[in-house]
Structure 1
């Protein structure tokens, strides 16, 4: 997580977005961040209000009044839980994706209520959550469920062994440290073998392959996790589809952290096949981390060994 101090939440007045704002407020209260509530008036809303109330000279102000009511109602719900929390409100006519992407430059998190995102729907129609997650400069929380505040359950982060794990891992470690919860670092082994390897399933020692992968994963995680010595970190490896392996470990977790890049499929052109699948199937909130810049990808974090427990799953 970064050093800036705001958590941005997109709200539309629905109970689901109010619940997401309450969850974000609980996180902001723990970290000392400002909660930034954002509501966007659509051009359709403005046109309808102007048509419905043509006799009013200030008919155009009606959508603004409704927008302020949405923000006020959400802020009141948040203040009932956290009366001392600093809250900023923004009412805008800009496209929500553009506004949230711009605000993400100075935010710690962007939070959006998200029931689910079907892969086909995201490809054909598009989704605010997918679009913002793709372009955001900070992690994006696709919030779902009924938890109004963080809980003692662990955080799960999915790591791709072929790429620098630092962006997702540092986000997950920072949140785990802030919330005082364990972190499970998960890596999925593909059941498909590389060219030249043995491909007969009965001859493949998956247990040994997972053991070797677990050792590599633990070695990669240790230097980064050493900067958060209070976090109880456990590494886990499984064989199969990456999203399915992560979901298996996410059962009982409070949220999942994943990167926004995939491997060349149509879905990954938008977000990443694993991230898109988690957005669709996960029953807990999913935090999508932005792709780091090339300079960040090359950066290697050095530190002392953390309290890391390696567990074969």
Structure 2
């Protein structure tokens, strides 16, 4: 099954921040590749009626306030689309009320693709990952892409062609198999390379056990086996229809993936790995990748029946 086939609309959260603008740019480019529409969603706190924004006085005109916001959203979409060359993408605007992450997750639904900036208007100065983006990655029922706008993140610069590269981390878990399928579909859209990486390590601050009890050669062989089995499970011996590079690399997962993702178009991870507790909504590896990766990061969550 093509993991992109079921997405007919990309939901992107916007709030007027630079991070949201970067997310909108990514969503429009992705929609061009998928030939689908974009729905821009902004969320207003229920205790801040739109008619009272920007110093307005008197009886709040909620309907007028909503229309003003939608007009500004449409103008921003037209501006970003013109720069990105995505003028043909259909764009809808929507205003919601409530808690931002909850409303965005609800807007995307179980099968939608949700795109958010790493930090919004309310983000702390110096914070690399805002609370809304983190909560969306934790609670979304479908894949979430978090796009950074700071100087250490190059954004998406290739998009289509042989030089494009999508990186995915695998660890043998069911979640990472789904991440491989999603990443393969993204690589096919771009006509680029799928770079599959399994990181392994002997000891990390003593947690790996006695190094002489498990020789490094055996651990390396186990890593190779995990990589092969992950690829086999992803495609069940069928062709992935994309150019694949597969590697096992010694090192901590988050460090390895962040380094390999340098100059990549997208890094894809599962929401939880083998070492995460079943009750954990977002594993430590995916959280660190969201925080420090130098490119947009997609978090792929298994369906409830597969979790």
- Normalised by the shorter chain, which TM-score bucket? 0.7 to 0.9
1:264: Cα distance to partner?
A: 5.0
Contact in 2 for aligned 1:22/1:77 (Cα 8 Å): no
- Larger mean CA deviation between 135-144 and 66-75 belongs to 66-75
More helix by share: 1
Q: Distance in 2 between matches of 1:70 and 1:269?
A: 38
SS in 2 for 1:165: helix
2:223 aligned to which of 213, 221, 226: 213
Equivalent position SS for 2:92: strand
Is 1:23 matched up with 2:47? no
Query: Are 2:179 and 2:270, in contact at CA under 8 Å, matched by a contact in 1?
Result: yes
The equivalent position to 2:139 in structure 1, one of 117, 135, 138, is 135
Cα RMSD of the aligned pairs, angstroms, is 3.3
CA contact (8 A) 1:8 1:107 kept: no
Question: Mapping of 1:190-205 within 5 angstroms?
Answer: 190-192=201-203, 199-200=210-211, 205=215
Question: In the aligned structure 1, how far is the partner of 2:112 from the partner of 2:53?
Answer: 37
What is the total number of aligned residue pairs between the two structures? 286
Residue of structure 2 aligned with 1:147, choices 149, 152, 155:
155
Tell me, in whole angstroms, the C-alpha distance in 1 between the residues paired with 2:33 and 2:196: 23
Q: Highest CA radius of gyration, 1 or 2?
A: 1
Alignment of 1:47-66 (within 5 A): 49=52, 52-55=55-58, 57-61=59-63, 63-66=65-68
Are the equivalent residues in 2 in contact too, given 1:157–1:185 (CA < 8 A)? yes
Q: What residue is the counterpart of 2:303 in the other structure?
A: 292
For the residue of structure 1 that corresponds to 2:20, the secondary structure is helix
Q: Which of 219, 233, 245 is the equivalent residue of 2:256? A: 245
| Residues in 2 aligned to 1:93 and 1:59: alpha-carbon distance in whole angstroms | 15
Q: 1:213 Cα shift?
A: 1.7
What residue ranges of structure 1 are gaps of 5+ in the alignment? 298-313
Q: Residue 160 of structure 1: SS of its match in structure 2? A: coil
Q: What is the distance in 1 between the residues matched to 2:88 and 2:188?
A: 23
**Structure 2 residue aligned with 1:68:** 70
**Could you tell me how far apart the structure 1 residues matched to 2:139 and 2:209 are?**
40
Q: Any conservation in 2 of the 1:141–1:287 contact (CA below 8 Å)?
A: yes
1:151-170 to structure 2, matched below 5 A, reads 152-163=163-174, 165-170=176-181
Out of 178, 190, 203, which is 1:179 matched to? 190
Shift of 1:7: 0.8
Alignment partner for residue 256 of structure 1, among 257, 267, 270? 267
CA deviation string 1:96-153 (max 9, x = no partner): 21222122225541100115999xx89xx97111111111111100112353662533
Counterpart secondary structure, 1:4: coil
Residue segments in structure 2 that go unaligned for 5+ positions in a row: none
CA contact (8 A) 1:7 1:107 kept: no
What is the Cα deviation at residue 221 of structure 1?
0.2
**Alignment partners' CA distance in 2, 1:165 and 1:140:** 15
Question: Is the contact between residue 261 and residue 291 of structure 1 (CA under 8 Å) also seen in structure 2?
Answer: no
Q: TM-score, normalised by structure 2?
A: 0.79
Task: Select which of 16, 33, 36 maps to 2:36.
Answer: 33
Deviations 1:155-211 (A, max 9, x none): 111112254532111111111111111111111223239xxx98246x864355324
